[in-house]
Structure 1
């Protein structure tokens, strides 16, 4: 049975799928067998989900790290489908707006990541989602919040401090964040992960954020078989 990481959001356009793809590609580049499970059927039908993006990436960039893909019709079908001995890590990309299935998937996952762009509405919705997860019995140390689409380091610090003041227990609130960058949008349009964008500065920023998520996952699950190369990518140009 692989380790599982769920990606959950209450609203769209928060970089949930972007982070899932970047994290999966980073781990695949380190030699792990990674399965992307696409639960976002609504966006998949529109050709805008992690499965469709990865399918197109395979055609455009056959020499780059690739992920296996699973497109289940239901949450249970997806959970049944990841039980494969050759898979090391399964990424559960939940629907763009948290549903009952999202909480089922998060409850079953070893780790859950909640991306959060700055904004009172998104922050309030994210805290509500966290509260519901805690009520479902999900351990707070297996939840991580990462700020995305930030305008500056100062803005990120303000929201990080606000989240910490909410006192939701030992949730991983990452100090690394992912800024709003045109370079990331261009990379995604070319079917490159944000950690593969040609611009060195923004690429390094993305890698630090993804490495921080891998560290948080590693620490929360006491996983010891992630190859050191997965973590050695931090700061690399």
Structure 2
């Protein structure tokens, strides 16, 4: 197993607003951190601090201006997600990287079960097996059965979020990126999600998650990166869980 699953070095991102004559807005700058394989890295900070922009660069929804994102793949190769070809990134999204966005953007007239199972089917899993795997997470997330063949575009925010979570958790992704995965859920469902994420982490899935709820984050995170004004200003580790990880992998890059 690689010492680190993900190594981010000196990553920066700005946005150019062409409708405002090329005005440049800082997303984040000079971000560096390392995540050990099987660890949960939390990202905390106020709205506008650059958290979601960072996560989108890790998924390559946004392309960073500079720096590197070194991912160790299931095959043991190291890929820089900043410079990798688009085809490589698409393949990694099917095999290695999962993403839970804060808001589901469902395809119209595609039922929830089909939508959540689609990544598995694209990877070659038989449709019935893919559906069974997704259903197991629908049940764990208390999504009513009469919604499974419904259209998520008509669902409530909390129902959409559960479809989004089931879609990511049903995959075999070795790295999960989570942008506020519990924001639309009540306290009981939040506890269920924390349990599911903890189970995945304990099975060796590496996760990077944004959460505004410090209590939930504290239950999951092995390390927390605190962001302000587009920079990491403080780093913390969870000493209880950190004790069970390879101590060489806990140094967080400055």
Output the TM-score relative to the length of structure 2: 0.32
The structure with the greater share of residues assigned to strand is 2
The structure with the largest alpha-carbon Rg is 2
Q: Which structure: greater helix fraction?
A: 1
Q: Higher relative contact order at CA 8 Å, sep ≥6: structure 1 or structure 2?
A: 2
